[in-house]
Amino acid sequence: MKKMLFGLGVIILLFIIGCSSETPLEQQIITEPAPEPIAEAPVEEPVPEVEAAPVNLSCSLTADCEAGKQCIDGQCGTIEALYTTDCASTCNFEEVVISTSDGETYTLGKGQGSYTAAGALEWKLLSVPNYCPMEKALVPIRIIMKNYSRIVGEHALTLREGETSEVITHSAIPDIEFTVTLDRVVESCS
């Protein structure tokens, strides 16, 4: 029994010592220096967005243009828009003489053309509306790029008599470099 009383005395003593601590842990307050006030950035009001005026869409292929338009000289448009048609007397070209960088010369009418590089690059004269007489007629030529007989791209270029096109290349066949020169235009006017 002495051992029991001794054990009970130790427990009571521990209890008394634990309760007599100056400040319980839960009530200890740790003070830190107050944080400095944060300077607020000035609030900028949102700037309303202004829609930009439409600009001419540049293109390299007709597929870059919206429906009903084609890529002509790097701009999306229509063949009809290239010509003034409201006048008393009108003209249209009957035939043209074209020479190519392949050393070939052709006399062709609207819708006719030829090809180079075993058909990888085809070109044709496009039909145009009757137009007001001009100093030199503007002749549009469609360039069609093919790969294994499948069309991979097309665009149009325009030439006046005496002009040579820029070098025409093929997206899938880098060795192709081709030019056409519009040597002569035969027009009929009414």
Instruction: Annotate 67-132 with DSSP letters as a single string.
Output: TT-EEETTEEE-SGGGS---SSS-EEEEEEEEEETTS-EEEE-TT-EEEEGGGTEEEEEPP---B-
Lowest model confidence (mean pLDDT) among 4-18, 48-62, 83-97: 4-18
3-state secondary structure of 159: strand
pTM score = 0.68
pLDDT for 35-79, tens place per residue? 555 555 455 554 444 444 454 458 999 999 999 999 999 999 999
What's the pLDDT band for 30 if we cut at 50, 70, 90? very low
pLDDT for 93-103, tens place per residue? 999 999 999 99
Q: Which two tokens stand for residue 30?
A: 């740790």
- Distance, CA of 35 to CA of 51 (rounded, Å): 46
What's the pLDDT band for 134 if we cut at 50, 70, 90? confident
What per-residue confidence (pLDDT) applies to 17? Answer: 53
Q: Which two tokens stand for residue 64?
A: 């870059």
